[in-house]
Each structure stands twice: as structure tokens, then as C-alpha cells.
């Protein structure tokens, strides 16, 4: 049987990619994809060449958030034969036109389905067993031509299961960012995620407490409580804790295919993303 965790050393990297960053959460709906996309664009605004990989096969968000219908997806003629041998390379509209001065490579699992998978043109449900998903992700990550990148931001599926393990055993991640919300309930799950990365020798450089508060007339309200992020940072000795408020514009920007850090680069939330960018 395969060992659960690698017993020695770290896997290799991806050709042309300097740093691979995992953005992970232990529950769905906490804002992991929102953070992934805005972090990627922030790194681009900081002058880096950035790619983003949506590994959240069951709930892919990138197709909506970075308007890939405007991206050019090309099949690699060397690898397109056979089920699941898909490679993609695209230039997202948000990064083009000198807005960020960066070329985007978007490999969105939602738009590429292997033969034999019960889905219809990317519009059906992703009905795949775990090993199929792991195989698909592994293949897309390693066979996509990413070009020369400073950072590849990988939007992980939520949880600490087979898919996450496979990815960490396939390529060497430079850093992990764990996204959570402030509820006490989230603490146990976040701890699991941080421990998983520690066991896989991936340094967890930041915890993001998303939806931490909202402001009305200058007064902060904390609908999900407070203190969880501080406790996580203290208990695990994490170097950075970054808080994002509940901001309707953040959600609207994601739905509109133009991330907030691009549409409102001087807003306070964009400044918090700069803080996160500096952490990775």
C-alpha cells in the first residue's frame, strides 16, 4: 500500500515556475477562491508573473471570477490524445491590456473534462470518484505549459483528503495560506489543515480570517465572533494573520469577472491583500 505521507524529502517543482503557493481551507464557502484570485492579481500588481490553477474540481470558481471565456485555451498537440490528456494555456482579460502587465495562465478544471467523466461541456455536475479527481488534477498541474512564472497560486479544494495529499506529493509547494472565518467552530478544522501542511513539509506562512467584520458608520461589527485568528496564529506560531472584512464589492467583483484588487486597487481591502502578498 502507498504510504499516507511521504517519508523523506520533497517532490520536485514545475518547469519554469519559481514558487507554488497553496491556498487552502477546511470548509467550503469561506472565501478561499476569492482570496486565491485577489492574491494572484495582487502579486501581479507587485510586479510578479503569476499563474493560477483551480484545483477545486467539485466547485470551480475561476471560470466566473477571471472571465476565462475571454481566455485562449489551447490543447497541447503532444498530450491531447487520450482521456484527460488536456493542457491549457490562456490569457485572462483582467491581466491583459497593461492593467497589470502580466500574462495569465488559467487552467480551469471546469472547462476541460476528460472523456468518460459524467459531465456535459463543463455545465454538468462533476461526478468523479476521488482517484479520478486526483489523477485529473495531477495531470493538469504537471502537463500544463505554465511558461515562466514567479508564482503559481493553486486554489485547493476544501478539506484535508486524498486530493490535497496527492497535490502536495506531486509538486513542491513553497508556502501555504489557510483561509478561514472567525467562528470558534472553524478552529478545529483549520488546525487539521495547518497540521497537514506541516506533515507535508509545506510552510504555512499566513492564516486569513475572512469575513472578520463589517463597518457601519465607522463602527466595526463582528457577526461571527472574534479571536479565532489570533488563537490560530499563537497556537501554531504562524508569521502572519491577515483579516478581510465583509465587503459586498469583493463578492460583486468576483461575480463580475474582475477581481476587487483590479477594479478598486486603492481600497482598504486591496491594501490588506498587499499585506498577504508580502507574506508569501
Cβ distance to ligand ADP smaller for residue 87 or 280 = 280
**Nearest-approach distance from CB 261 to ligand ADP, in angstroms:** 12
SS3 54: strand
**Nearest-approach distance from CB 49 to ligand ADP, in angstroms:** 23
Residue ranges in the chain assigned as alpha helix (H): 32-45, 62-65, 130-143, 162-170, 185-199, 228-236, 248-255, 260-263, 268-279
Round to whole Å and give the CA distance between 19 and 22: 10
Cβ distance to ligand ADP smaller for residue 168 or 272 = 272
**Nearest-approach distance from CB 215 to ligand ADP, in angstroms:** 12
Round to whole Å and give the CA distance between 113 and 155: 18
- Supply 197's cell numbers: 501542511
Inter-axis angle of helices 130-143 and 162-170, to 10 degrees? 30
Cβ distance to ligand ADP smaller for residue 34 or 134 = 34
**Nearest-approach distance from CB 242 to ligand ADP, in angstroms:** 12
Positions that interact with ligand ADP (CB under 6 A): 25, 28-34, 61, 210-211, 244, 246-247, 250-251, 254
The number of CA neighbours under 13 Å toward the Cβ of 160 is 17
Round to whole Å and give the CA distance between 65 and 173: 24
**Nearest-approach distance from CB 257 to ligand ADP, in angstroms:** 12
Cβ distance to ligand ADP smaller for residue 75 or 191 = 191
**H or E segment and range at residue 37:** helix 32-45
- Supply 77's cell numbers: 498537440
Cβ distance to ligand ADP smaller for residue 38 or 49 = 38
Round to whole Å and give the CA distance between 181 and 211: 6
Cβ distance to ligand ADP smaller for residue 87 or 207 = 207
Residue 19's region, left for phi above 0, alpha for psi from -120 to 50, else beta, is: beta
Round to whole Å and give the CA distance between 222 and 186: 15
DSSP 157: P
**Nearest-approach distance from CB 21 to ligand ADP, in angstroms:** 15
**Nearest-approach distance from CB 224 to ligand ADP, in angstroms:** 11
Cβ distance to ligand ADP smaller for residue 6 or 59 = 59
Amino acid at each position: 500500500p502507498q504510504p499516507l505521507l511521504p517519508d523523506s524529502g520533497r517532490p520536485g517543482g514545475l518547469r519554469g515556475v519559481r514558487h507554488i503557493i497553496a491556498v487552502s481551507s477546511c470548509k467550503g464557502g469561506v472565501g478561499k477562491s476569492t482570496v486565491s484570485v485577489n492574491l494572484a492579481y495582487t502579486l501581479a500588481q507587485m510586479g510578479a508573473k503569476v499563474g493560477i490553477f483551480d484545483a477545486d474540481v467539485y466547485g470551480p470558481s475561476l471560470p466566473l471570477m477571471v472571465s476565462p471565456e475571454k481566455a485562449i485555451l489551447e490543447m497541447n498537440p503532444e498530450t491531447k490524445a487520450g482521456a484527460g490528456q488536456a493542457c491549457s494555456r490562456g490569457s485572462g482579460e483582467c491581466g491583459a491590456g497593461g492593467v497589470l502587465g502580466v500574462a495569465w495562465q488559467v487552467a480551469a478544471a471546469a472547462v476541460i473534462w476528460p472523456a468518460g467523466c459524467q459531465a456535459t461541456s463543463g455545465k454538468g455536475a462533476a461526478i468523479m470518484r476521488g482517484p479520478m479527481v486526483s489523477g485529473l488534477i495531477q495531470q493538469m498541474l504537471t502537463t500544463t505549459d505554465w511558461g515562466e512564472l514567479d508564482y503559481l497560486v493553486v486554489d485547493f479544494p476544501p478539506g484535508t483528503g486524498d486530493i490535497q495529499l496527492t497535490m502536495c506529493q506531486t509538486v513542491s509547494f513553497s508556502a501555504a495560506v489557510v483561509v478561514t472565518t472567525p467562528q470558534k467552530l472553524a478552529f478545529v478544522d483549520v488546525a487539521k489543515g495547518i497540521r497537514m501542511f506541516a506533515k507535508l513539509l509545506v510552510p504555512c506562512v499566513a492564516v486569513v480570517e475572512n469575513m472578520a467584520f463589517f463597518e457601519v458608520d465607522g463602527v466595526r461589527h463582528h457577526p461571527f465572533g472574534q479571536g479565532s485568528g489570533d488563537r490560530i496564529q499563537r497556537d501554531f506560531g504562524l508569521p502572519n494573520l491577515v483579516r478581510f472584512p465583509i465587503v459586498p464589492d469583493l463578492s460583486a467583483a468576483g461575480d463580475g469577472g474582475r477581481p476587487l484588487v483590479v477594479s478598486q486597487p486603492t481600497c482598504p481591502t486591496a491594501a490588506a491583500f498587499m499585506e498577504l502578498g508580502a507574506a508569501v
